[in-house]
A and B are shown apart, each in its own frame.
Chain A
Amino acid sequence: ETGVTQSPTHLIKTRGQQVTLRCSSQSGHNTVSWYQQALGQGPQFIFQYYREEENGRGNFPPRFSGLQFPNYSSELNVNALELDDSALYLCASSLRDIEEGSGNTIYFGEGSWLTVV
């Protein structure tokens, strides 16, 4: 058990719709990142939030957006869904200390499987 929970676990959406995926981080973790993992591929970094601010972004269009809340839970929103958005979406959380640098204990959730039809 990593203490990182994601919801929903599976969902099916129609092309053009919008989706919100949620991540509840391990208690006290101030850094959360989101990854997209297409079938047969490694995860691709979407973006990262540190203390409620976006703190790094991968090569994804603006229709992928996110939020981190004061309790450090997080959302990933995807607008105007395309067929290629079908993937496993993973959330990862950690406790990051700016002075001491990044920790090496980073916990992933079990992911949300999104199918776009």
Chain B
Amino acid sequence: AQKITQTQPGMFVQEKEAVTLDCTYDTSDPSYGLFWYKQPSSGEMIFLIYQGSYDQQNATEGRYSLNFQKARKSANLVISASQLGDSAMYFCAMREGDAGNQFYFGTGTSLTVIP
């Protein structure tokens, strides 16, 4: 079974609108972390937001928020007030336990912001 599933290969959003990128995960480890990264065409992975499995509240970082539904094993990324510079690939990733930098990544979602 896939550890991380991103079912939206491509998404379009109007500038200034909000968009939700879906992510579901699969793990039997009670302790895990969920991450979202942005990857522009240059290749660098840019950290956006982190949610720990024991965190009671949904994580927020500026225009990014993570809709964490533990029972459904979903960790959707919400980008509010989209900007043209948000156009990029977005990856959901999971780290199980204390695994350092060992992530499982999804296949990504390509987001295009339309002026």
Could you tell me which A residues sit within 8 Å of B by CB distance? 2, 31-33, 35, 40-45, 48, 50, 55-56, 58, 88, 90, 92-94, 96, 101-102, 104-111, 113
Contacts and interface: CB of A to CB of B under 8 A. Distances in A.
Contacts of B35: 104, 106
Contacts of A56: 99-100, 102
A104 B107 contact: no
B91 A90 contact: no
A50 B43 contact: no
Given A92-B45, A109-B44, A110-B44, A42 B99 contact: no
A2 B50 CA distance: 17
Given A41-B107, A42-B107, A42-B108, A106 B47 contact: yes
Contact of B98 (A40, A43, A88, A102): A102
B43 A33 contact: no
A104 B45 contact: no
A55 B101 CA distance: 10
B45 A90 contact: yes
Interface residues of B, number: 26
B47 A111 contact: no
Contacts of A58: 102
A48 B100 contact: yes
A31 B100 contact: yes
Contacts of B47: 105-108
Given A42-B108, A43-B105, A96 B100 contact: yes
B101 A106 contact: yes
